[in-house]
Amino acid sequence: MSADAVVHVIDDDESVRKSLDFLLRAAGFRTATYETALAFLNALPDVSSGCIVTDVKMPEVSGVDLLKRLRDMHVRLPVIVITGHADVPMAVEAMKNGAVDFLEKPFDDEVLLVSVRAALAAAESTAEREAARHDLRQRIAALSRREREVLDGLVAGKANKTIAWDLGISPRTVEIYRANVMTKMRAVSLSELVRMTMLAEVADHPVGSDGVAG
């Protein structure tokens, strides 16, 4: 678990909020507490990692509303919702809107701690994948236009001669661009290059903008 990970506790009931805060801190977690979902949303610019534990039934912005807003804002922190018995349908709706777990009151302390640990582990794994994907996208963005065209041909499974024909250049020139692509992408094999390109989801990102042609 990252040392920077914080469990963000949101509950309008002060006694519950303090109880959860004490439990989590006693278990070694870093915490931050908020009396409303709006208070948490206002603090979002300073939130970089961790997970959220929130009551599902709150004034102004409910736990379900919070999930919808986080989704619209592309905030991917895992959310655990807490519910009373009468609010279980609301918790089910929260799950449908992206909550990773819901706990019905009263719940055992260890059940919450297990859920929080799982949420933080998932968040860290997601963050690592996103960081790796961002790095790959940066490498692709650094390619020249012609290098990107050669990369696209390689990913499509085309031979050097076919790529050369498509681009109107010599096979030898394709080999040079291919070597450049391998170096810039830091790939040791063609299969790794293809895998890296697919992981970066290159279809969602523009090619390099230097406009270099071969």
Residue of 92 and 56 predicted with greater confidence: 56
Residue 135 lies in a domain: no
Residues 72 and 25 in one domain: yes
* pLDDT for residue 209 is more than 60: no
Q: What pLDDT does 8 receive?
A: 95
Q: What pLDDT does 208 receive?
A: 36
What share of residues in the chain are helix, strand, coil (percent, to 5)? 60, 10, 30
For 16, the token pair is: 């519950």
The answer to whether the pTM exceeds 0.85 is: no
* pLDDT for residue 203 is more than 90: no
Indicate the pairing of strand 50-55 with strand 30-34.
Answer: unpaired
Distance CA 172, CA 178 (A): 10
Distance CA 75, CA 149 (A): 33
* pLDDT for residue 38 is more than 80: yes
Residue 208: partners with Cβ closer than 8 Å, 6 or more residues away: 140, 141, 142, 143, 144, 145, 147, 148
CATH number at residue 180: 1.10.10.10
Residue of 2 and 120 predicted with greater confidence: 120
* pLDDT for residue 112 is more than 90: yes
Question: According to DSSP H, which parts of 27-86 are helical?
Answer: 37-43, 63-72
* pLDDT for residue 97 is more than 90: no
Residues 155 and 67 in one domain: no
> Residues of 87-103 as b/e, b for ≥16 C-beta within 10 angstroms?
beebbbbbeebebbbbb
Distance CA 214, CA 50 (A): 47
The whole domain housing 165 covers 142-204
Residues 40 and 116 in one domain: yes
* pLDDT for residue 56 is more than 60: yes
Indicate the pairing of strand 6-10 with strand 30-34.
Answer: parallel
CATH number at residue 51: 3.40.50.2300
Q: Is 185 helix (H, G, I), strand (E, B) or coil?
A: helix
Q: What pLDDT does 125 receive?
A: 78
**Cβ distance 181 to 113 under 8 Å?**
no
Q: What pLDDT does 122 receive?
A: 83
**Cβ distance 101 to 80 under 8 Å?**
yes
**Model pLDDT for residues 130-176, shown as the tens digit of each residue:** 778 888 999 999 999 999 999 999 888 889 999 999 999 999 999 99
Residues 95 and 68 in one domain: yes
